[in-house]
Structure 1
Amino acid sequence: MSNLVKEFNDYRSKMNEVILSKDNLVIKRLWNLDTNTYAEGALSTQTKEMLGLVASMVLRCDDCIKYHLGKCHELGITTAQMYEIFAVANIVGGTIVIPHTRRAAEYWEELIANN
């Protein structure tokens, strides 16, 4: 696993443990809701992760983008599909999304290199 992917995953896991260890009911409920939102339903898990990625890119949240890129990779999204997702995000979000697309493309390359 590349350093870029490993560092993100390690930090995310570490800080999630810290936050959840504080036993805050609202945070636990919010995170549970987030988990359940992406479960298989009328929309496939793949579709939901792609939607989450577009929303994250438009909102310009690099951590969220990395998370959804990882999930999309786990779910078998292809590079061709990924670049269509990037295109949708850039059309919806405008040119301000371009720097996030660059970082997303870099992270995607790291994910596929680790297959």
Structure 2
Amino acid sequence: MNKNYTDINQQQRKLGSAFRKESPDTLNAFLSLHKAAFAPGAMETKYKELIAVAIAINVRCDGCIGSHVEAAVKAGANREELVETINVAILMGGGPAVIYGTQALAAVDEFYP
């Protein structure tokens, strides 16, 4: 099973834009929440993105994995930090997290330079 997380992210951006036209209040409110939650504060954005990667694995969300792995890399997460994040997600999520954790590693390889 080969997934291309760059394609998944591009497709989700298109779908999100289309939905925003239909329901701008809802999507704009969500995007404001997203911006506030990921703003640097007591915790750097990188760590918030790593948490989001772990959650994305456990809720089995391909779009979330692609988006947050890409954002974590852009925020300065290195490959080892991402692998350790996947390890914690697998611990907390059991067998299903193993499946999505290994797929998240494919996303890491795709986005990490």
TM-score range, shorter chain: 0.7 to 0.9
1:80-99 alignment runs, 5 A limit = 80-99=80-99
Partners of 1:48 and 1:83 lie apart in 2 by 15
Task: Give the secondary-structure state (helix, strand or coil) at the position aligned to 1:25.
Answer: helix
Question: Which ranges of structure 1 fall in alignment gaps of 5 or more residues?
Answer: none
Partners of 1:54 and 1:101 lie apart in 2 by 8
Aligned match of 1:32 = 32
Aligned match of 2:16 = 16
Task: Give the secondary-structure state (helix, strand or coil) at the position aligned to 2:4.
Answer: helix
Cα deviation, residue 92, structure 1: 0.9
TM-score by length of 1: 0.85
Tell me the amino acid that sits aligned with residue 83 of structure 1.
V
6 and 62 in structure 1: CA distance in 2 versus 1, 3 angstrom threshold: closer
Identity across the alignment (%): 21
TM-score by length of 2: 0.87
- CA RMSD in angstroms comes to 1.7
**Count of matched residue pairs:** 111
Question: Which ranges of structure 2 fall in alignment gaps of 5 or more residues?
Answer: none
Cα deviation, residue 52, structure 1: 0.9
